[in-house]
Structure 1
Amino acid sequence: MDKRKIIYTGNVVDLGIETVTLPTGDSMELEVVRHPGGAAIVAIDGQQRVCMLRQFRHAAGGWLWELPAGKIDAPESPDNTAKRELREEAGLTAEHWQSLGSFLSTPGFCDERIYLYLATTLHTTDSEPHPHEVIEVHWMPFSEALDMCDRNEIEDGKTLLGLARAAGKAGIVAGQQETL
């Protein structure tokens, strides 16, 4: 990046016009959203049920099925964000955590990276949802969540990818389901 002009700074993102030199040598201006990133959690209990949230999202036009997830608060690590969000949104803690990798949500204009985790050996605790979040916590068989993906009932990208990566860890993709 050669130059950045901030257009807007908000609570979650900032938008800037960045002057960049491309690998071809050409120079151009790009609109770029900078985001601190986030973490999403596939929480599986001992009965092979997954914790899913039904959450109202104004920008999406209504209710969505999602995994517990949230924004990284600096200087918090992605691991600590995942633990905090699981507690706040779902009222859960986990003894075992496994990384499911990370991904860029919309790399054409935004640098948001979301870290995915598998959480098992769960324990209930008090939830601490933010007052502006409208969330319902639901438990469903992991296989039902995968079927919902196939029926296009789950539209959230981090949830689709998190469930798919967890299914891969369990051998479900290969048709040999194991316990998560």
Structure 2
Amino acid sequence: MGTEVMRDASVVVARDAKGLVALLSANFPNHGGEYLFLPGGRFEADEHPLDCAQRELREEAGVTAQQWRSLGSYAITLGSPARVHLFEARALTLGPQQLTETETDFKLMWWPMDDARQAAHDGRFLLPAGPLALFLS
């Protein structure tokens, strides 16, 4: 069995001037269908949490932001020192998504915060960092 070292990750709640939140959706067949998630991903070599958050937001949502606020960092699992770093981004500028080959089915949507939080309550997010970030923002 491989011993891949788990890397830190960053996740972003991007809120536009109307308060809408950037959400992504994609089909995850191994988990039974379509799920929502926030822009985010694992660190690249020597990347810092905010740098990762900015890169992932730009790539996955096509968004850059002028205002950033940390929402904290949390252990990913008990068995690893890796952490997920949560951020809120505001004062957004929209551009094209810059998806990688493994992200081509990511669909970008803008939802009211209350609806995004309700989707978290309804179990529509696959990973826990997105709902946590939504409720902390």
What TM-score comes out, normalization by structure 2 length? 0.91
**Match for 1:153 among 124, 128, 136?**
124
Give the 5 Å matches for 1:39-78: 39-78=10-49
- Which residue of the other structure, out of 77, 82, 85, is the alignment partner of 1:115? 85
Name structure 1 gaps, 5 residues minimum: 1-6, 15-33, 167-180
The runs of 4+ residues in structure 1 deviating greater than 6 Å are none
Aligned counterparts of 2:26 and 2:81: Cα–Cα separation in 1: 24
* Residue 27 (structure 1) aligns with: none
Q: Distance in 1 between matches of 2:57 and 2:101?
A: 16
SS of the aligned residue for 1:8 comes to coil
Q: CA deviation at 1:35?
A: 0.8
The Cα of 1:78 is off from its aligned counterpart by: 1.0
Distance 1:78 1:35 in 2: 15
Alignment of 1:160-171 (within 5 A): 160-166=131-137
Which one has a larger percent helix, Structure 1 or Structure 2? 2
8 Å Cα contact 1:64/1:156 also seen in 2: no
Q: Give per-residue Cα distances to partners, 1:54-92, cap 9 Å, x unaligned.
A: 023344333210000111001111111000000000000
Give the paired residue count. 136
Map of 2:102 onto structure 1: 132
Cα distance change on mapping 1:110 and 1:62 into 2, 3 Å: farther
- Write the distance in 2 (CA, Å) between the matches of 1:55 and 1:104: 25
* Higher relative contact order structure (alpha carbons within 8 Å, sequence separation ≥ 6): 2
* Root mean square deviation, CA, Å: 1.5
Q: Percent identity?
A: 30
Give the letter aligned to residue 68 of structure 2: W
Distance 1:91 1:151 in 2: 27
Which amino acid is the alignment partner of residue 163 of structure 1? L
Q: Report Cα offsets for 1:145-176 as digits up to 9, x if no partner.
A: 1121222233420111000111xxxxxxxxxx
TM-score normalised per structure 1 = 0.71
Please say if residues 44 and 120 of structure 1, whose CA atoms lie closer than 8 Å, have aligned partners that are also in contact.
Answer: yes
The structure whose Rg is larger is 1
| 1:111-131: CA deviation from partner (whole Å, max 9, x where unpaired) | 331000000010012321111
CA distance in 1, matches of 2:91, 2:57: 13
